[in-house]
Structure 1
Amino acid sequence: MASIGQIVEQTTGGEVLSRARARAALVPDCMVEARRIANTVIAGWHGRRKRGIGENFWQFRPYAEGESLAAIDWRRSARDDHTYVRDREWEAAHTVWLWADLSPSMMYKSTFGAVSKESRALVLMLALAEILARSGERIGCPGIMEPVSARNAAERLATAIMHAPQTAGLPETGMIRGHSDIVLIGDFLDDADRIMERITPLARRGLRGHVVEIADPAEETFPYSGRTEFTDPETGEKLVSGRAETVREDYRRAYLSRRETLGESLRRLGWSFAFHRTDHLASEALVTVHGYLSGLPAGGINGGTRT
């Protein structure tokens, strides 16, 4: 996403092309990460399950006077002195739209980050798709993939992403109908007001949104000193600082103020907001987003602070 006053290290055109080609190589690692955390995350994920008409067993419960005798499970009732009804599960598959920013600023990786912002965003999106698909939800990506309900939804989404053109800014959402969840993952370095101009109409249409900001640790801490050249990967504009350390405090104040303003604006809409640094584990951010989608109360999680 294009940044306002973003300060990043220079990335050459060759490096941009190399990272674009490496995107496909990321998919197997993403699948491994998704399945590694599935055992801990999927255990608490139940989608929108509740009692009703369906094929899957839900629970046994005591028979109530007036109910149909055909509903009684005689085998279970024979085990003791009570009469039980076998309830089945009604599964209302929910649609969750997932989007990751793939614009040039996301390719940034400092020596302090474990991976590029783009790599982490893709890992989070595809791992989340894996988890959601296991719970029977429909998964879609605005402008890239129509919603599907399938166990291999993550693999299908990965394939669609590899063939998608490079984009900038928030996605087009005209294809989204009805009440759905949308998860937006990116660095969100634009001015907060510009971002909210795009997001506010989505909330008014009834979309339940979750925004995850991905940050390289150098972007947050600004560890530079001495003569340093910075390049904006979106515009190519350069900035040379003779003593970079002299602007550190002003930069950090502006950077954190942008994040705070964005978070407060999203909360007023009823959307969730979390930020995640690439020097932390991807699983921490996944647990955070999972909690929001599950409707759990907010709380602090290292590396993926929830607000």
Structure 2
Amino acid sequence: MSDTALHTPETLRSRSESVARSLPPLLVEAQHLAATILLGEHGRKRAGTGDEFWQYRAAEAGDAYRSIDWRRSARADGHFVRQTEWQAAQSLMIGVDDAASMTFTGDKSRPSKLRRAQTLAMALSILAVRGGERVGLTHLVDPPRGGEAQLIRMASALMDSHEPGDYGAPKPRVLPVGSRAVFFSDFLGDPSAIETVLGQAADRGVKGALVQVLDPQEELFSFDGRTLFESMSGTIRFETLKAKSLRDAYLERLAERKARLKEITRRTGWRYHCHHTDKSGEPTLLWLYNMLDRAR
């Protein structure tokens, strides 16, 4: 298809209408949730863009051309960015797992794990932007930015992207030195990937939190008798005649997973929080808001 065809009024209108159908509900829901949190002083509210030198760091994908310090770069075999303390402290990076397992809900009356994660992520981003911070998504190459336009870009990206496979793991492409980060997931996949990412984040001075989003059905395991278990993608199937007999072993494995996540965060200086989709998002958002304020 030619570039001209991609930009015809019909194509642009179709794309705009498609985005309009999915984007507003997420933003409206997130704005409503964010409004429940009293906006106090969040982040460092220095005048201007900050002028206290903090460090030089190697240039990363997504850094603006004008941000490169050419005098410092001339003394080395690479490009360097002059970073101020304010700029580092004011960046919040967010990752939302959108693999197949996150689309699960045990009841049509409550949101899927993915929808709740998206809402919490956007509500937290709204609070950060209103507090003068820059926000971004970890799976994109774009650097964090401030402003309402950035919130719209993030919401659109969250609605568009989908991770292949049953379970996802954090794969940050942008994680500025000294920034803060939050990863939303059910964290039911391979925990070694989480250990690797948080270890790398800690080495870069990045502080943050893991928010494990679970459906209450995943905590109760109220199955009995003949039951067919199937992964959300349909690639994993298991049938049993005595589902109830598996409950204790399942709950033990889930407890072990939570304990491992808590240990990973403890070792790396991060924090862990578990959220259930049958509960209001307000307590979790307030916890994140206060946690990030202390992590400055």
Pair in the same fold by TM > 0.5: yes
| Structure 1 spans left out of the alignment, 5+ residues | 1-21, 56-89, 297-307
Q: CA RMSD in A?
A: 2.7
| Structure 2 spans left out of the alignment, 5+ residues | 1-17, 50-84
Cα gap change, 1:255 to 1:26, in 2 (>3 Å): farther
Q: Secondary structure at the match of 1:99?
A: strand
CA distance in 2, matches of 1:183, 1:276: 14
Name the counterpart of 1:262: 261
Name the counterpart of 2:147: 150
Name the counterpart of 1:166: 163
Q: Give me the identity figure in percent.
A: 30
CA distance in 2, matches of 1:281, 1:26: 22
2:127 corresponds to 1:131? yes
Q: TM-score, normalization: structure 1? A: 0.70
CA distance in 2, matches of 1:118, 1:280: 14
- What code does the residue aligned with 2:232 have? P
Q: Specify the structure having the higher radius of gyration (Cα).
A: 1
2:96 corresponds to 1:100? yes
For 1:57-82, what per-residue CA distance to the aligned partner results, in whole angstroms no more than 9, with x for missing partners?
Answer: xxxxxxxxxxxxxxxxxxxxxxxxxx
Q: Secondary structure at the match of 1:279?
A: coil
Picking from 87, 99, 119, the partner of 2:115 is: 119
Return the offset for 1:48: 1.4
Q: Write out aligned runs for 1:266-277 (5 A).
A: 266-277=265-276
Cα gap change, 1:129 to 1:216, in 2 (>3 Å): same
CA distance in 2, matches of 1:276, 1:113: 17
CA distance in 1, matches of 2:254, 2:96: 21
Q: Secondary structure at the match of 1:147?
A: coil
> Retained in 1: the 8 A contact 2:125–2:135?
yes
CA distance in 1, matches of 2:29, 2:138: 24
Q: Write out aligned runs for 1:240-251 (5 A).
A: 240-251=239-250
Q: Secondary structure at the match of 2:235?
A: coil
CA distance in 2, matches of 1:26, 1:215: 23
Return the offset for 1:23: 9.8
Q: Write out aligned runs for 1:55-66 (5 A).
A: none
Q: Secondary structure at the match of 1:43?
A: coil
For 1:207-244, what per-residue CA distance to the aligned partner results, in whole angstroms no more than 9, with x for missing partners?
Answer: 11211000011111101111010012356111101011
CA distance in 1, matches of 2:123, 2:262: 24
> Retained in 1: the 8 A contact 2:169–2:193?
no
- What code does the residue aligned with 2:31 have? R
Cα gap change, 1:118 to 1:23, in 2 (>3 Å): farther
Farther off after superposition, 227-236 or 253-262: 227-236
Q: TM-score, normalization: structure 2? A: 0.72
Cα gap change, 1:126 to 1:218, in 2 (>3 Å): same
